[in-house]
Amino acid sequence: MSFYITLISDSSKHFFPGNKTSHFTTQLPTPITLNDEWEMGLVDFIYPHTWYNIREDNNLFGFDLGDGKSIARRIPQGFYETIPDILDGMYLEDFKNKIEFHYHPIVKRVKIKTKEHAKVFLHKGFSKLLGFEPGEIKGKVESSYIADPNASFPLIYVYSDLVEPQIVEMSKLHF
C-alpha cells in the first residue's frame, strides 16, 4: 500500500500557534498508524516567496557618462522577476546614446555597451545577478556568467529527521 499526504505549514495555526513556515507541526483529520517498515519520500516542496532578490546589500551600481563625474545609484529594493526587470530598474534617461543594456534570453547573458568614454561600475552582489565580476565596464562587454535574478538564493535545503543523514561538503545533514 502507498499513499500521498500533503502537509501545509499554516493549516494548524490554531492548534500550534508557534508554527513557522520553516518548522511546523500539523494536525491531521484522523491519526495515521504505520505498522511495519515504511519508506518515505518528499514529492513536492512549495515555499511561499517572501523575500526580495534586490536588497540594500546588492542594489548599488555606478556610472560615469564620460564627463569624469562618477555617480552612484541604487535601484529600488524589491523582487525583480526577470533580468529585463532589473535592467529597466537601472535605466536612466541620461544614459540615452551613452550606456545601453541588453539581455539575450537564449544565452541568458547581459551585454553592456558604453560610448564616448562612459563607464558602468558594478558592485559586489549586484554584479553577480547580472553575470559579471565586480568592477568597471567600458566599451562593449558581455557577461561572463549566466545572468540570474535569483543568484543570491541558489538553493533551499529541506531538513528532515525522517531519513538517513546525507553528507553535504563538511556537514552530515538530514534532508
pLDDT digits (tens, 9 = 90+) for 31-69: 888 888 887 777 777 777 778 999 999 999 999 999 999
Average pLDDT of the segment spanning 96-112: 95
The residue among 91, 86, 90, 71 whose CA lies nearest residue 148 is: 86
Average pLDDT of the segment spanning 15-24: 84
109-132 b/e with 16+ CB inside 10 Å = b?
bbebbbeeebbbbbbebbbbbbbb
The residue among 24, 25, 78 whose CA lies nearest residue 49 is: 78
The residue among 157, 137, 154, 151 whose CA lies nearest residue 82 is: 151
Higher per-residue confidence, 30 vs 143: 143
The pLDDT value recorded for residue 174 is 59
The pLDDT value recorded for residue 78 is 94
How far apart CA 161 and CA 172 sit, in angstroms, is 12
- pTM to 2 decimal places: 0.70
